[in-house]
Amino acid sequence: MIEIISIVVSLFVCIITPIAVREIRAGWVKPSFAGDRDKFVQTYSRQLAWQTLAGVAFGLLFVDVALSETPPAQNTLKLIAAVVWFALAIICLVSRRSLQNFTATTTRRKTRA
């Protein structure tokens, strides 16, 4: 049962992360955030780094549990959960890099003007 919950939650985060990064690149800042846009981008980038680490950790955990259990019927669901968590880690890593590249180009544009 926990595998199903894990799959649903990680798929939701896989879908919502690129959408949120696109909105942040367009200039959106959370209204309740105390600080400027650059600080918000740094904070969100740090959050994406933690999500990447969590994706790798949970992916490895599910692979370990799948390989250590004896009934092979339950291993399939655990391996699917591991693949989805690894996909989450990759999506967060790519999103973080695209956000950092976008921040670097906007900073260069500001200094030229």
The predicted-structure confidence for 45-83, as pLDDT tens digits, reads as follows 999 999 999 999 999 999 999 888 777 777 888 999 999
Residues spanned by the domain of 70: 41-103
Residue 19 near residue 64 (C-beta atoms within 8 A): no
Confidence check: pLDDT of 84 > 70:
yes
Q: Look at residue 79 and tell me if it is in a domain.
A: yes
Model pTM? Answer: 0.85
Q: How many CB atoms lie within 10 A of CB 88?
A: 24
In a domain, 1, yes or no: no
| Tokens at 33, concatenated | 């955030």
Half-sphere exposure of 78 (CA within 13 A, CB side): 16
Q: Which residue has the higher pLDDT, 14 or 3?
A: 14
Residue 30 lies in a domain: no
Quote the DSSP letter at residue 35: S
Q: Please report whether residue 18 resides in a domain.
A: no
Domain assignment present for 93: yes
Whether residue 15 is contained in a domain is answered as no
112 C-beta neighbours (distance < 10 Å), count: 6
32: in domain: no
pLDDT digits (tens, 9 = 90+) for 16-41: 999 999 999 998 888 898 888 889 99
- Number of domains forming the structure of the chain: 1
Question: Counting runs of H as helices and runs of E as strands, what totals does the chain give?
Answer: 3, 0
Does 14 map to a domain?
Answer: no
Residue 94 has pLDDT above 70, yes or no: yes
Contact 69, 92 (CB under 8 A): no
Cβ pair 92, 57 in contact under 8 A: no
- With a cut of 90, say whether residue 102 has pLDDT above it: no
